[in-house]
Structure 1
């Protein structure tokens, strides 16, 4: 059956289109975008007052399957993604076992293929994250890996990174890396500032991030390979990316909604749910991050969705695992802290969550056009919501519980099928 979306405000950042029109979906594709469409026997969605946009794309999620399904499964993660307006996600490799071999990767992708959203995965850069021995990039690509990352484990050996970049360049593969030098860090997950010191330990200073990032950006420049900087958090890191881009390095960078929304002070209020790698920083860092989002230095907004159980988080700050869930609050945080405050237009926010992430991996996604993919999110951009204590994700480790945010997803549509409908 055809699906007809009536009277929505279509925003397509790729074509710069922003107008109230109808969208007709037939045979899993967008068949027509025009005003006053009428179709017999079509299912109709009245999108009056709502935004109709490309389905969101998250290039950085942890679905914990295989091996840690007590935290999240691919199924529960996919459902959470759909509730957040995401139609495509990229899973990281830090499962148990790690996605280091074609066998494990293939088996994982076979599970992912059963879901309503589009789920891709990266393979690990080094064998079982050992930081020394490169995986078989060609074999992993053949098995379905769309890129490579040891996310969560920084590559401390510059020579290993250089070899990996040289190898990736042969097939124009993207390497995504976590930038925190462990030799400069006391306790992970907390900024080395007021909060850590009041807790009685040395935390993770910003220099641990931007110094390693500067090294790796220069290696990427020398090799000519594509390097993606994951979840930067420090103001100086924005300057490093800007410098490397101006030099001509093939660098891209992402930031999470939490890193442009809240500071290290949230640990005093939310405890271990606000413990992250890299940690929440200061207001001055957020200001620089927003500058980087505005001028294009930061290309992508990604959640780093990292589920943990209540029991795992319900320990002292120095012992708790780092990470928070983010798929169900990502759009709202962008609307609340970037659009409503006048830092980005709605189209500019959506660019960071659709067009640009699609470019990283050359996905046929992130745009709305006739004969294009029928992957869409329909949402109210201005309504106020209070974040619930319960999530569609199996986990609830979010520092935004009971916070008031803007925006509400009404429908998520993937390949022409309604896969989420809000209340």
Structure 2
């Protein structure tokens, strides 16, 4: 397995953790891929997996836990090593090679983003009730933002409501793609809705913590992704019918929803990209192994020029995506998420598309086997394609990149819009 540390010199601490993580993956993750799939396919698909629970205990005992938690969020290093975004890149990439592996290290979405929100914006009471058990891996969480009835790529379209009523807020609306809600250990969702529809456009929305056992919360159905249900994690369509929650569950304050979303989605987007690069790297390894061992038209596939072209293109594209991801991570660490928004947007477009191309090439080399359950490639493809939509579709991010480029060269697109 290619070590990301060989691509970009990070820190001795990050290299040591990566070596430790790689050994754990070799000893416990790859050998248990078939076992996890077998457990999912046995009995109730929507029960948490005992095999993953066992692996989580092993990982935590080795200190391989909460890598994502940024410096300053965990005074004293009680819950994690406090890595920078750049230090985290190689670790996240390696975990991303197997779709369920991040949970073993308590680094899976949407929990990571929700924990960062609670660590950054939560009150001490919210942190005690929800953040601590999440950091301990005792519960799971969800994020309820996208809605089925509006184009949620423009989050100002969101119609769900959060209305103050005495000491409570009343939450109403329909959400879908609420990832993580299928897990029976999912206890809480961060819900985005409007507290003041008359306010300035980006000050109408707020975020609030909604316990999933509250009266009025209904899991309508679990959605599939190209036929995959991603059990027991899953993606739910949910209704919130006059759900009453304490006013103390509001995050940061009324009208602060967009501010929280920007703080949450920046790290979340780059984490997705890191995991996608891990998937692409693994697909390239599968491509190499297949082409070296498969004979067609009198010689191994590896000796056909077209195959070698596929391998070379994949290597170059993965390395480009990785380096841009590391640049974005470095900027987040040094100048902040807001200043890095152009780089974050760029990699959010590039990484899924690179992963799709590399995985597709591997599928082509495997032939019929590449589209069936005998390899991880079909699921990898489905997940990579979904991530061209999740956390914002490509076009939203290319718009950000373009606006940043105009700004960098001294033009304000808002002023240009006034020139008719």
Q: Same fold (TM over 0.5)?
A: no
TM-score for the superposition, normalised by structure 1: 0.25
- With structure 2 as the length reference, what TM-score do the two structures score? 0.25
- Does 1 or 2 have the higher relative contact order (CA < 8 Å, sep 6+)? 1
